[in-house]
């Protein structure tokens, strides 16, 4: 009886060693994508009233956990019984990410006619503010879903040689770290100014300088994340196409990978953009008539 118990402990220890080793491998392969995930989600989670920032981030975080609960079992099942479907799902997700990146660039250079007439968030009625929050939360959760699919698939591919239990534990660990780590850092970024204000209130020379630096740095960080998040969307989408479509990979083989991914994401995004906008206009006309 005792020998069986110790044998079980030995098996568990061996399994944990395998998970740790494969976790490091999967972590390295998904590190770049996690960085992109952070940039995209920090940009998505910014722009809310100060008192609403943490509640909104928590709502997005809960949505991200739900995304992982949906994606993980489906990824394991598809990997076991229908591996070809994974590439199709990745490409569909890549189309959406490319569209989002292209739309941000388009709206920057071709702003809406009434952009300057948009009222400030503080002047909007409470109902409108909550409606805008819900819309942005849904958009963030949808983007998180697609990025989560990519993270899970890459992590799964990096542990393909392990047994099923090791794959499940390793990929689940990466998914958990992705959610907790990314949104923990997002919360820290968007609350930089609040932390800075508390340091200033201590009325100490050193803390005052650090606090004012954090307060002044936040707008720069948010603007930078908007740019970085857009580039990240195009890089992730371009990476999906270059890694999963051999024709595109071979066509741009001479270019540095990061440049090839950006170019592909940009081209795909601005190809999908007019199609989506045209379909949206037709849908609105059809609904109005």
- Whether residue 3 is contained in a domain is answered as no
pLDDT at 13: 43
pLDDT at 159: 72
Owning domain of residue 93: 10-274
Cβ-in-10-Å burial (0-12, 13-18, 19+) of 245 comes to middle
Q: Which two tokens stand for residue 86?
A: 């994974």
What pTM was computed for the model? 0.66
pLDDT at 76: 85
Q: Number of C-alpha atoms within 13 angstroms, CB side, residue 85?
A: 9
Percent over 70 (pLDDT), the chain: 73
Whether pLDDT at 20 is above 90: no
| Of 64, 14, 69, the residue nearest 181 (C-alpha) | 64
Is 169 within 8 Å of 177 (Cβ atoms)? no
- Whether residue 197 is contained in a domain is answered as yes
pLDDT band at 14 (very low <50, low <70, confident <90, very high): very low
Q: What is the 3-state secondary structure (H, E, C) of 222-265?
A: HHHHHHHHHHHHHHHHHHHHHHHCHHHHHHCCCCCHHHHHHHHH
Whether pLDDT at 16 is above 50: no
Average pLDDT over residues 60-67: 89
- Whether residue 279 is contained in a domain is answered as no
pLDDT at 274: 92
Whether pLDDT at 25 is above 50: no
Least confident segment among 46-50, 102-106, 208-212: 46-50
- Whether residue 288 is contained in a domain is answered as no
Helices (H), 45-163: 53-81, 84-109, 126-158
Cα 18 to chain centroid distance, Å, stands at 27
pLDDT at 111: 67
When comparing pLDDT for 111 and 98, which is higher? 98
Whether pLDDT at 137 is above 60: yes
Output Rg (C-alpha) for the chain, integer angstroms. Answer: 22
- Whether residue 284 is contained in a domain is answered as no
- Whether residue 257 is contained in a domain is answered as yes
pLDDT at 272: 93
pLDDT at 66: 92
pLDDT in tens, 64-88: 899 989 988 988 888 888 878 877 8
- Whether residue 247 is contained in a domain is answered as yes
pLDDT at 269: 93
Whether pLDDT at 7 is above 80: no
* Total domains, the chain: 1
- Whether residue 289 is contained in a domain is answered as no
């Amino acid at each position: 009886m005792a020998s069986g118990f110790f044998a079980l402990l030995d098996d568990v220890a061996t399994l944990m060693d395998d998970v740790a080793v494969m976790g490091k491998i999967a972590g390295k392969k998904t590190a770049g994508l996690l960085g992109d995930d952070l940039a995209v989600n920090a940009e998505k989670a910014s722009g809310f009233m100060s008192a609403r920032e943490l509640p909104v981030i928590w709502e997005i975080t809960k949505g991200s956990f739900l995304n992982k609960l949906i994606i993980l079992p489906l990824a394991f099942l598809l990997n076991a019984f229908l591996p070809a479907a994974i590439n199709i799902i990745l490409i569909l997700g890549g189309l959406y990410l490319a569209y989002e990146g292209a739309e941000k660039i388009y709206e920057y250079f071709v702003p809406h006619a009434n952009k300057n007439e948009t009222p400030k968030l503080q002047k909007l009625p409470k109902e409108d503010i909550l409606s805008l929050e819900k819309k942005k939360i849904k958009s963030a959760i949808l983007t998180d879903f697609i990025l989560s699919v990519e993270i899970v698939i890459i992590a799964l591919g990096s542990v393909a040689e392990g047994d099923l239990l090791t794959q499940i534990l390793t990929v689940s660990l990466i998914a958990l770290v992705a959610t907790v780590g990314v949104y923990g850092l997002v919360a820290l970024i968007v609350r930089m100014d609040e932390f800075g204000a508390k340091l200033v209130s201590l009325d100490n020379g050193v803390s005052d300088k650090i606090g004012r630096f954090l307060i002044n740095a936040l707008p720069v960080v948010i603007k930078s994340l908007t740019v970085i998040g857009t580039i990240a969307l195009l890089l992730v989408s371009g990476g999906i196409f270059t890694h999963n479509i051999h024709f595109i990979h071979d066509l741009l083989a001479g270019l540095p990978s990061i440049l090839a991914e950006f170019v592909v994401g940009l081209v795909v995004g601005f190809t999908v953009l007019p199609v989506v906008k045209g379909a949206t206009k037709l849908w609105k006309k059809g609904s109005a008539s």
